[in-house]
Amino acid sequence: MTAKIFIDGEHGTTGLQIRTRMAGRRDVELLSIPEAERRNQAMREDMLNSADVAILCLPDDASREAVQMVSGNNKVRIIDTSTAFRIAPDWAYGFAEMDKAQTEKIRSSRFVANPGCYPTGAIGLIRPLRAADILPDGYPVTINAISGYTGGGKQMIAQMEDQSRPDAISANNFLYGLPLKHKHVPEMKTHGLLDRAPLFSPSVGRFAQGMIVQVPLFLDDLKEGTTIETIHAALVAHYAGQNIVSVVSLEESAKLARIDAEELVGQDTMKLFVFGTQGGPHVNLVAVLDNLGKGASGAAVQNMDLMLSA
């Protein structure tokens, strides 16, 4: 059977990349609204209620409004890429690899919240260490990250690419989220299984896509006896049996002089690394992903495929 899919926000950054990933597929039929009508409420409502799966690629408020539009419809299933429902208890968090039970939750859920791009890296690194009791209660987790500028959607893309705009950004690399209240912190805390909100400092570089997320740790403050090897082994065990998240071997990581934020551009996978020196006091956990791949559009398609396999 062909599943009807409607991408609300199909002409935006995330929506367009989902459409590209669906091109040529025969198992799905894309319902579509012309770009000029993208904010036409009646057309959106009609499409939302005609779909088997609706993928919302909208700002938070518009996502909430879209969910309202299908409130009388108990057939359509929703994948929301915004921040609106990521810690809502009746929504499944769409990161299948974060936990052994998550695949089934996504498969059987009507409402799936696609994770944020930075949280995919951060939760991917932190949650296995919390689940294995390596990262103790109260540990002051810090998360530093750099994203390609497409992470800021159409507006930031224009600000970075069109220097004639009055609001053009000329910096090649900038820190933001300076009040330390980024919208991703609640989901990092909840799905990272943290008892204390992490301190998150994001940044943007002058490259379109790609991302590095770092979680540096002091070994002395982790579970007694923790080493770079035990951390690496916990990550390897956590991600065994799937092929989306890979953990790079310690030997391979030790040979690297640099990590490239653009390494996985165009791919829907994520790589995790554990850096440090054997016997040393610190480790740096690092995730590399495409903000629009496993960080957004690629993850949405993975979630859709799981839902359609129910």
Ligand X SMILES: NC(=O)C1=CN([C@@H]2O[C@H](COP(=O)(O)OP(=O)(O)OC[C@H]3O[C@@H](n4cnc5c(N)ncnc54)[C@H](OP(=O)(O)O)[C@@H]3O)[C@@H](O)[C@H]2O)C=CC1
Binding site for ligand X (CB under 6 A): 9, 11-15, 38-39, 57-59, 62, 81-83, 116-117, 150-151, 153-154, 291-292, 295-296
Whichever of 109 and 114 has its CB closer to ligand X, that residue is 114
Residue 147 in contact with ligand X2W, rule: CB under 6 A: yes
Counted residue by residue, the chain has a size of 310
59 binds, among ligand X2W, ligand X, none (CB under 5 to 8 A by kind): ligand X
The answer to whether the beta carbons of residues 293 and 265 sit under 8 Å apart is yes
Nearest residue to 296 via CA among 86, 103, 25? 86
Q: Residue 153 CB, nearest distance to ligand X2W (Å)?
A: 6
Helix (H, G, I), strand (E, B) or coil at 16: helix
Whichever of 81 and 253 has its CB closer to ligand X, that residue is 81
Q: Build a one-symbol-per-residue string for 85-124: x at contacts with ligand X2W by CB under 6 A, - elsewhere.
A: -------------------------------xx-------
Whichever of 117 and 123 has its CB closer to ligand X2W, that residue is 117
With CB under 6 A as the contact rule, which of the stretches 41-49, 151-159, 245-253, 276-284 interacts with ligand X2W?
A: 151-159
Whichever of 17 and 147 has its CB closer to ligand X2W, that residue is 147
Please give the residue whose beta carbon sits closest to ligand X in the complex. 12
Helix (H, G, I), strand (E, B) or coil at 157: helix
Nearest residue to 193 via CA among 278, 60, 299, 87? 87
137 forms beta bridges with: none
How buried is residue 159: exposed, middle or buried, by Cβ count under 10 Å (0-12/13-18/19+)? middle
204 binds, among ligand X, ligand X2W, none (CB under 5 to 8 A by kind): ligand X2W
The answer to whether the beta carbons of residues 62 and 14 sit under 8 Å apart is no
The answer to whether the beta carbons of residues 261 and 236 sit under 8 Å apart is no
202 binds, among ligand X2W, ligand X, none (CB under 5 to 8 A by kind): ligand X2W
Residue 202 in contact with ligand X2W, rule: CB under 6 A: yes
How buried is residue 246: exposed, middle or buried, by Cβ count under 10 Å (0-12/13-18/19+)? middle
β-pair type (77-80, 53-56): parallel
CA 91 vs. chain centroid, Å, equals 16
Return the sign of the alpha-carbon dihedral for residues 1, 64, 20, 110: negative
Whichever of 253 and 297 has its CB closer to ligand X2W, that residue is 297
With CB under 6 A as the contact rule, which of the stretches 81-89, 94-102, 229-237, 276-284 interacts with ligand X2W?
A: 81-89
Whichever of 49 and 267 has its CB closer to ligand X2W, that residue is 267
Return the sign of the alpha-carbon dihedral for residues 131, 136, 138, 141: negative
The owner of tokens 């025969």 is 26
Q: Residue 136 CB, nearest distance to ligand X2W (Å)?
A: 28
Residue 235 in contact with ligand X2W, rule: CB under 6 A: no
| 117 is annotated as an active-site residue | yes
| Annotated catalytic residue, options 33, 51, 53, 117 | 117
Stretch 203-222 residues interacting with ligand X2W (CB under 6 A):
204
Active site residues: 117
